[in-house]
Structures are given as structure tokens and as C-alpha cells.
Amino acid sequence: MPNAVNLKTIQVVPGAKDFIDIVLSKTQRGTPTVVHNGWAIQRIRQFYMRKVKFTQQNWNEKLSAILDEFPKVEDIHPFYADLLNVLYDKDHYKLALGQLNTARNLVDRVAQDYIRLLKYGDSLYRCKELKRAALGRMCTLMKRQGPSLAYLEQVRQHMSRLPSIDPNTRTLLLCGYPNVGKSSMMNKLTRADVEVQPYAFTTKSLYVGHMDYKYLRWQVIDTPGILDRPLEERNTIEMQSITALAHLRAAVLYLVDISEQCGYSITQQAALFHSIKPLFSNKPVLIVVNKIDSRRMEDLSDADRELVDGMVDEAKKISSGGAAAALGGDSEETVLMAMSTLSEEGVMSVKQTACDRLLNFRVEMKVAGKRIADVLNKIHVAQPKPRAGVAAGSRPPVIPAGVAEARARRAAGERKKTERDMQEENGGAGVYNADLRKHYDLQDPEWKYDIMPEIMDGHNILDFVDPDIDAKLAELEREEAELEAAFAEEADAGGGGMDSEDEAAGDLTEEQAADLAAIRARKRVLVGEHRSKKNSHRNQAVLPAKLANARGRTAEAMKSSLGSLGIDASKAAERARSQSRGRKRERSASKARGGEDGDADMGDAGEKKRVHSSKSRSMSRGRSLSMAEPRPGSGLKDVVQRNKGIKMADKAQWRMNKMAKIGESDRAIPTKMPKHLFSGKKPGHSTRNRR
């Protein structure tokens, strides 16, 4: 099928209200939701322009998906095009799709117009109202498409229930009056389970079943019954059969109920055949007489027999035309067949005849086509040539030894002994161990049961092992034991040995030895504390700075501990006190300088005043920055680097703010309850504070 469309994969078409909720909810979740009046106007504009663009893109994507999934009448096979026209009215179907296409274009135009207006919005309120108007117009447009969306959803549901018919494959088409046995024959030929009832028009749509014949897949189509009346008076059920007969290249089986139990006489059935005869052109046709279990062909009256013969003659004329006439085909093919679906008499012969006729017809059509000439030029049939000195038939057939042995065992009533037989003979499961090595395919069969496999040039691992390895290993162990005994004797002779630290301590005085012992004791304590905290230091809380004095971590404690070691820590204590004073120290220092230099001229004083005033203004403007001490471990060594990093971060965020984004990821959803879903009109007024 050109541009094949799978009608069962079309997505659900939501209603107008659900459509609006889906798109607005996605807009609320996919765009920022917080805007402040203090932002720059360009950032506010970008905030609302982004919402309008995002909503327009969602509408466009959703509507485009619907328009692309539904098949275009002009792009699909004529069979499906006419079937759509019969079932859904092609004009109404096109009109619904056209209205959605128009709505998509109008939504794009509305978004374009309001984005142009938002570029010149002068306040947050004006931008918000423009965004509200844009989204409102888009929702109004989609509300008007409610009937079209509902119609397309009904069409989608009906399309998903249609059978998957391949118009180009091998097909048998069953047609005729209602209740003549079409569905019964369908159930006999295929694995389909079509409902069969003893009243007319049980089958109201096309049913498809599949069968296999000559290793090929065939489809069998059961059509609803057709009545003999003008085309314009036929209903939708009958028009489905007419559409299948008109467009499918299939073998047509026209079923005739000769018992007339269907409620229609043979005269009426013959009249229907002649009225729909133009639909059988270029198709192999079979007249299948059904229900011969109730009435045989021999029991027909002369008038009824003439009517059947008339249908057979017309079927032969149809079959003798087209490709068969062009190739000089045989027009004496079997056209009339008899069967009974109740007793299954003749059903398989009808199937074989119909399939063979269709295969021959398809081959004839291909040969009669224009493309066969191009193919024949590329085909060459190779013929074997007899070899010189070898007479024809001098090579008798040869039966392999294994095949001959198997045939002999079979003739003697024996069978090949299997592993299961050997298992039962040798103790059963759990006792018998199957010999898998006998199936090894090696270069030398003697290698199958080698303990060590061959690895290189016919050698295995044992060939490369030193035979005296055990004696040499014992000699090495004996030498090692002698060396250890000699070392122990030397240690005993030297008084138990002395490490390098003890040797160094041997030349010290008593006071120095006492100090060394104290140092070593303190070292052992520190090492023990370190080892005890090594695995648990991560679980200890960080000591706050305000609690440092509680444990003696003060400047006085530092000064006294360093003084005991002979280190002057007075300057470090003064520097710690000066850093704690902060800005007061600078002011006091400037006063001191002013008092000492009181005789300075007014020019210098004015210049200093300007310098201090500008500095104080900058400090007051960025006091939070100037007082921002770098955190330990942050990689910033002083306040200057900390302030520089803050300024760089603000500058990097400026571009994000222009695009109305929270940050680089912009994945946060600050608003957990979108207002458009959880707020509505209130008595006396409406909620106007949506964003």
C-alpha cells in the first residue's frame, strides 16, 4: 500500500476542555512562575514572551501530531480512501482536519501578534495583561474546535476497530446475497471466528482471516451481504462490499444458495450477479454453489439450471479477458464449483481451485506488463554441459555409510542407543556420568583423554615443568631457616639489640634523657589520639566559633602556650584583637592620625575627607559584601577575593535574567498548585491576579 498507514496506532484525540488543560498545565510546569515588579523591564518582557511562545509551541506540536497521524485521503490506497468516504463521509472528515489546520495557523498568528506587542510593554501589569489576552484568545480558538475534535475521536475509535487489509497481497473475496454461507466458509478456510446466525445481515462489516496454501500467506475477506438494487439506494453496510469488490485485486467467489434457504431465489441471485458484473473485471471469478447437502445440482429445474449456466458463461467471459486473452490463456478453466459448508464437502477443492487460479492470474498479469521485457533481458538460464569422457548415466547414486547403517537398523527394528539408554544401563540418574570427551573433535583422536591439554607444538604444561622443582624448593627453605637462626644468635649476643633512637639517647645527660622520655610519651599519646579519631573524625560536629572560648581556644591561651615554648606571641594576639574590632579600628586610627597631623593644611584635609566619604559610601553600599568573610575550605584567601567572586556570579546571572530564567537548569517548580487549575471565578468578581 503506498504510504501505508497503521490505523491502530493513532493517538487519542482529547476534547477541547482537556486539550486546554493539558497545554496550560504544561506551560505552567515548563516555564518560570515568579516575577517581581523590581526587575528590569526587559527581563519582565522576556518572562511573559517566553510563556506566550511556549504555549504557542505546545498548541502547534499537539495539532501537528493529530494532523500527521490521521491519514490523508489523497495519499492512501483507493480502497481505504473509498472506505473512509463510505464510513465517515470524506467531506466531513476533510473539513474537520482542515479546521484544526486553520486553528493551528490562527494560534501561530495570535502568538506572533502578541509577542510583537509584548516587546513594547512598559510595565509588569501591561505585560501580564497582554500575556493573559494571548492565552485567552488561543483557548477561545480551541474551544470552537470542540465538535471537530469530538468527531475525529469517534473516527479514530472506529478506525482502530477496522481490520488490517493489505490491498496488494493474495486475497480471496467472498460475496453474494445475505445468509448464503459466506461467514461459514470463512470459518472453514481460516482460523477466524465470524458470527454465524440463521438470519440476514449478521455480518455488518468487512472481516479478514488468514490461511496458508503452497507455503504462502493468503487473506480471506468476508463481505456483508448485497441486495439487488440501484447503487444510490444501498446503505453503508452494502457499500463496504462494493468498495472491496471495486478496488481489491482478488479472486472473487460468488456464493449461490441453490437450496434457497437464505430467503432469496436463484433468479434474484442471478440478477444480482449480472448487476455487479462490472466490478469483476480483471479478476478471476468462481461461481460457488453452496448447501448441496440440502439440494443437489441434479435436482435443479431447467429454468434454474439455465440461470446458473448463464452466470458461468459470464464468468468465463470475464476470466478470458485481460491478460489471459493477451497471452492466449485457457478460457476453459473451472468456473463452477459445488460445496457444502455444513458437511465440508468440496470446501477444500474450492479453496485449491480459487488459489491456483489467482496465482496463475497474477503471473499472467506480470508477464503482460511492460516491465517484463526489462527483466527478461537480465535473465540467463544456465544449462549443465556433459564432461568429456564421462558417459551420461555412468555415475550411479551413492548412499552414505551412516545413512545405510541407519536404514539397516530401522529395517531390523533396532534404534540408535542414546545417552539416556546408557544412563539406565549404568545405574540411572545421579550414578551415571556422561562421557563428554568422546564428542571432542580434535586433530588426533588420542588427545581426547589427555590429562593435560596440548598448548604448543605437541607439548603440554607438564613438558615445561622442572622435575627437580621439589628438591630445589626444599633446599631454599633450609637456607632461609639457617639465615634466620644466625640472625637470632647475633641479636642475643648484642644484648637484645638497640634501635637508632636508643643509640642516640645513650650520649645524653639525665636531664636530656628525661626530656626525651617526656617527648616520646607525648608523641605516643598524640599518635594514639590520632589513631582513635582517624575513623570517627567525619562523625564529629564542627565546633562553632562562639564556643571556642569554652575550651580555652582564646588569644590569651595561645599566647601562654606559645610562651611556654619560648615563642613570643604578643604580635599575633594584637593582630587578632585588631581584626575583631573591624571598622572601629579604622576610625580610631584616622582620628589618631588627625590629632597627630593637626597642623596639616586645609587642602590635604579636604582631600582626605573626600577620600573617606567616598570610601564610606562604597562601604555602606556594599557593607554586606565587605563583611562577607570567606568560608574555610572555599579556596578564597581574603575578603577581596570573596567580593570579586560575588560580583562575577552576579554578572553571569545577568544573562539568565534577560531570558527570564531562574538559573542554568531552570528546572525548579516553585508553584506546586498552578493557579489556572486551582482558581476560578468567584461570586461577584473573577480572579484577575493570574500570571
Three-state secondary structure readout of 492-532: HHCCCCCCHHHHHHCCCCHHHHHHHHHHHHHHHHHHHHHHH
Tell the residue number behind the cell numbers 438470519, with chain if given.
Answer: 199
Which whole number is the average pLDDT over 344-363? 88
Amino acid identity, residue 558?
A: M
**Phi-psi group of 552: left, alpha or beta (phi > 0 → left; psi -120 to 50 → alpha; rest → beta):** left
Beta strand 285-290 with 336-338: parallel, antiparallel or unpaired?
parallel
User: Is residue 577 pLDDT above 80, yes or no?
Assistant: no
What are the grid coordinates assigned to 284, written together? 478471476
Q: Which pLDDT value is given to residue 324? A: 45
Alpha carbons 292 and 341: distance in angstroms, whole number: 9
User: Is residue 198 pLDDT above 80, yes or no?
Assistant: no
Q: What is the pTM of this model?
A: 0.51
Reported confidence tier of residue 627, pLDDT bands at 50, 70, 90: low
User: Is residue 139 pLDDT above 90, yes or no?
Assistant: yes
Amino acid identity, residue 626?
A: S
- Closest of 624, 631, 628 to residue 545, by C-alpha: 631
Average pLDDT across the chain, whole number: 80
Residues 6 or more apart in contact with residue 146 via CB below 8 angstroms:
15, 16, 17
Q: Where in the chain is the domain with CATH 1.20.120.1190?
A: 12-158
User: Is residue 145 pLDDT above 90, yes or no?
Assistant: yes
Reported confidence tier of residue 645, pLDDT bands at 50, 70, 90: confident
Kindly report the number of other CB atoms within 10 A of residue 628's CB atom: 15
Residue 180: φ, ψ to 5°: -100, -5
> 146-160, 490-504, 595-609 — which is least confidently predicted?
595-609
The larger pLDDT score, comparing residue 651 to residue 612, is at: 651
491-516: pLDDT as tens digits: 777 555 445 555 555 678 888 889 99
Q: Where in the chain is the domain with CATH 3.40.50.300?
A: 163-369
User: Is residue 231 pLDDT above 70, yes or no?
Assistant: yes
What single string gives the DSSP state of each residue in 210-232? EEEETTEEEEEEEPPP--SS-GG
Q: Which pLDDT value is given to residue 118? A: 93
Reported confidence tier of residue 327, pLDDT bands at 50, 70, 90: very low
User: Is residue 565 pLDDT above 80, yes or no?
Assistant: no
Alpha carbons 335 and 285: distance in angstroms, whole number: 7
60-108: pLDDT as tens digits: 999 999 999 898 888 788 888 888 878 888 888 889 999 999 999 999 9
Q: Are 213 and 63 in contact (CB under 8 A)?
A: no
Q: Are 107 and 59 in contact (CB under 8 A)?
A: yes
Q: Which pLDDT value is given to residue 522? A: 92
Q: Which pLDDT value is given to residue 539? A: 60
Reported confidence tier of residue 52, pLDDT bands at 50, 70, 90: very high
236-294: pLDDT as tens digits: 888 888 888 888 888 899 999 888 888 888 888 888 888 888 888 888 888 999 888 88
Q: What percent of the chain has pLDDT over 90?
A: 19
The larger pLDDT score, comparing residue 484 to residue 369, is at: 484
Q: Are 220 and 211 in contact (CB under 8 A)?
A: yes
> 10-14, 236-240, 390-394, 556-560 — which is least confidently predicted?
390-394
Q: Which pLDDT value is given to residue 309? A: 87
User: Is residue 226 pLDDT above 90, yes or no?
Assistant: no
Residue 217: φ, ψ to 5°: -95, 130
Q: Which pLDDT value is given to residue 545? A: 61
Burial class (CB in 10 A: 0-12, 13-18, 19+), 447: middle
Q: Are 292 and 339 in contact (CB under 8 A)?
A: yes
156-192: pLDDT as tens digits: 888 888 878 888 889 999 998 888 888 888 888 888 8
Residue 374: φ, ψ to 5°: -65, -35
User: Is residue 406 pLDDT above 70, yes or no?
Assistant: yes
Alpha carbons 44 and 326: distance in angstroms, whole number: 79
Q: Which pLDDT value is given to residue 24? A: 93
User: Is residue 326 pLDDT above 80, yes or no?
Assistant: no
Q: Which pLDDT value is given to residue 600? A: 44
Reported confidence tier of residue 636, pLDDT bands at 50, 70, 90: confident
So what CATH class is 12-158? mainly alpha
The larger pLDDT score, comparing residue 587 to residue 410, is at: 410
Topology of the domain comprising 163-369 = Rossmann fold (3.40.50)
